[in-house]
């Protein structure tokens, strides 16, 4: 199990650092060749780790191992959701610079609605996932695994939604 955790941790480091490089460049055309090579190396190095982690989690395994895999999936999805939420705020603030300088209240209103929407969505997600796992509540390990899988699935869906709000230029 320690090996699986190591694989998941390595994947997260490679994935998140690669994503940060891409975000740092802001545009693929602005990246120099060294940065492009680093991004490809990190992406290429993370693919075998990702497929191995998925294979290990997909195998027939004990409930406790399944719960640990579900926990890792949920943590990765949560990191992606947080990244997407921060990115939509950044895009809104950059849009403010170009479009709403004369009406700053519009940008504040948008950011307020975004914050309210995210809080309400988190409550909805947690309630839905609790309902989804209700019939397994008697088995704490199975319940945790199902809850984490649901949270991961819904978080990735929400991250896609947030990524589509205010498309980057």
Q: How far apart are CA 33 and CA 35, in angstroms?
A: 5
Q: Kindly report the pTM of this predicted structure.
A: 0.62
Q: How far apart are CA 155 and CA 126, in angstroms?
A: 10
Asked if the model's pLDDT at residue 156 lies above 90, the reply is: yes
- The residue extents of the domains of the chain are 1-59, 61-169
Q: How far apart are CA 105 and CA 108, in angstroms?
A: 5
User: In CATH, what class is 61-169?
Assistant: mainly alpha
Q: How far apart are CA 53 and CA 7, in angstroms?
A: 6
pLDDT for 127-139, tens place per residue?
A: 999 999 888 778 8
pLDDT for 13-25, tens place per residue?
A: 445 444 444 444 4
Tokens linked to 88: 């939509």
- Mean pLDDT on 58-72: 76
pLDDT for 92-151, tens place per residue?
A: 888 766 666 777 788 888 899 999 999 999 999 999 999 998 887 788 888 889 999 999
Tokens linked to 56: 């290990």
- Residue 137's φ and ψ, nearest 5 degrees, are -60, -25
């Amino acid at each position: 199990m320690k090996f699986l955790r190591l694989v998941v941790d390595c994947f997260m480091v490679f994935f998140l650092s690669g994503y940060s490089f891409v975000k740092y460049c802001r545009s693929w055309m602005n990246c120099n060749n060294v940065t492009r090579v680093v991004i490809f190396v990190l992406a290429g190095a993370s693919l075998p780790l990702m497929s191995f982690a998925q294979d290990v989690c997909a195998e027939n395994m004990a409930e406790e191992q399944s719960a640990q895999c579900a926990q890792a999936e949920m943590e990765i999805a949560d990191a992606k959701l947080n990244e997407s939420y921060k990115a939509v705020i950044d895009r809104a603030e950059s849009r403010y610079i170009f479009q709403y300088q004369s009406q700053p209240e519009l940008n504040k209103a948008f950011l307020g609605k975004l914050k309210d929407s995210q809080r309400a969505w988190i409550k909805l997600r947690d309630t839905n996932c609790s309902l989804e796992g209700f019939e397994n509540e008697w088995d704490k390990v199975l319940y945790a695994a199902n809850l984490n899988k649901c949270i991961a699935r819904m978080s990735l869906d929400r991250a896609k939604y947030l990524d589509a709000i205010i498309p980057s230029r």
